[in-house]
């Protein structure tokens, strides 16, 4: 029987990305939890925020819970947008506004190195059991391109490629992404202990 894993996120894109990468588990979204709390992401790091989400949800169930926090770190912006990636362009969290703000902030900058970073926290019974960080290096394009993916994918060109994550498509992204790397660690660890 497959071990059940609850993904502590309201982001349907993340649930579907994570499900595709964890075929050995029965991956569920938050709908299996009655009245799941809305967890404020008040942490100063991806690890803090993923921990807040994983602890809050895992305190409500006997199942394993994984939470993800991730974002874009741009070197010439001192690591911004970082933990504010999803609300960089305004509190309502709109991909188009976020991408537009990033373009404005980087106008005229020649140093465009950046990385997507993802931290996955695995928790049970309100307790963090393990965490895994993954990063993919790349650069910020001069203009968005591509219709796939979500978030900053149209602006992020991974190292070794000439196209954005949004152009490269789910399969390539899932293989080389920050989330894939962090999830690989979580999967290996869970396979041994769950």
Which residues here bind a copy of itself, judged by CB under 8 A? 45, 47, 51, 119, 127-133, 185, 188-189, 192-193
Q: How far apart are CA 11 and CA 71, in angstroms?
A: 14
Residue 79 φ then ψ, to 5°: 90, -5
> Is residue 95 annotated as part of the catalytic site, yes or no?
no
Q: Choose the catalytic residue: 29, 68, 69, 153.
A: 69
From residue 107, alpha-carbon distances to 48, 52, 102, 104 in Å are 31, 35, 8, 5
Q: How far apart are CA 54 and CA 75, in angstroms?
A: 28
**Nearest Cα to 145, choosing from 160, 167, 162, 161?**
167
Task: State the catalytic residues.
Answer: 69
């Amino acid at each position: 029987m497959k071990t059940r894993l609850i993904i502590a996120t309201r982001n349907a894109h993340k649930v579907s990305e994570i499900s595709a990468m964890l075929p050995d588990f029965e991956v569920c979204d938050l709908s299996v939890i009655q009245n799941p709390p809305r967890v404020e992401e008040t942490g100063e790091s991806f690890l803090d925020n993923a921990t807040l989400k994983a602890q809050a949800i895992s305190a409500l169930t006997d199942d394993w819970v994984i939470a993800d926090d991730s974002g874009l770190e741009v070197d010439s912006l001192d690591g911004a947008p970082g933990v504010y990636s999803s609300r960089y362009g305004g509190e309502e969290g709109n991909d188009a506004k976020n991408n537009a703000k990033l373009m404005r902030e980087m106008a005229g900058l020649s140093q465009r190195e950046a990385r997507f970073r993802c931290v996955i926290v695995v928790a049970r019974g309100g307790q963090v059991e393990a965490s895994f960080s993954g990063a993919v290096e790349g650069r910020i394009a001069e203009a968005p391109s591509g219709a796939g993916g979500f978030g900053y994918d149209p602006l992020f060109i991974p190292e070794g490629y000439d196209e954005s994550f949004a152009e490269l498509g789910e399969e390539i992204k899932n293989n080389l992404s920050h989330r894939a790397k962090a999830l690989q660690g979580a999967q290996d660890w869970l396979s041994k202990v769950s």
